[in-house]
Amino acid sequence: MNLMFLVIGLVVLLIVVILIPTSLGSKKNKKSSENINNSEIKINDLILPIKIEQMNPYSLFQACKIITDSYVALNYVNKPASALDKIEWHSWQVTLLIQFLKVHKDFILPYDTKLFNSMILNLSNGLKEKEMQKIFRKYINHVNIEKNRDELSKEIIWTAREVSIILFNILKNQKG
């Protein structure tokens, strides 16, 4: 009988030990999340990991250039549109791109829009803006800004389509 209480007590204790840290440690990107789903999100309202926000412009440029080179090497321009829905990009990469989009004025990536799949190029400006809003909402709801680079690099939750939209916006903003 005492053994049964001990086992039940250990199970309850184990559940409490597992649940409390996960509920406390799930700090998402919450600035004012009560109205976030219905209102337009401005890029400057996004809170990013401090390490990325504090990156010097040249390091940020170099990191984004490497991400863009990877994007080009994966040859999305020649893949079917359905290939853009494959989840293969991680949160650290997307965070770097979002930060670059926020502060892109100092450096210009040496690419043009010919690197994008025709499905992206054929979207209207209104649809591209709606896609950016979806990306911002996904970032706010799914990226824990308290995580470090290694942890965010393991969060492979972003599609090539989402990365394409962000990169397109970076290049569009640079070209005027």
Share of the chain above pLDDT 90, in %: 66
Q: What pLDDT does residue 37 have?
A: 58
CA distance 81 to 175: 25
Indicate the pLDDT class of residue 72, thresholds 50, 70 and 90. Answer: very high
pLDDT in tens, 73-89: 999 999 999 999 999 99
112: left (phi over 0), alpha (psi -120 to 50) or beta: beta
Q: What pLDDT does residue 104 have?
A: 74
Total-model pTM: 0.78
Torsion of CA 64, 163, 88, 78, to 10 degrees: -100
CA distance 162 to 134: 9
At position 8, the amino acid (one-letter code) is I
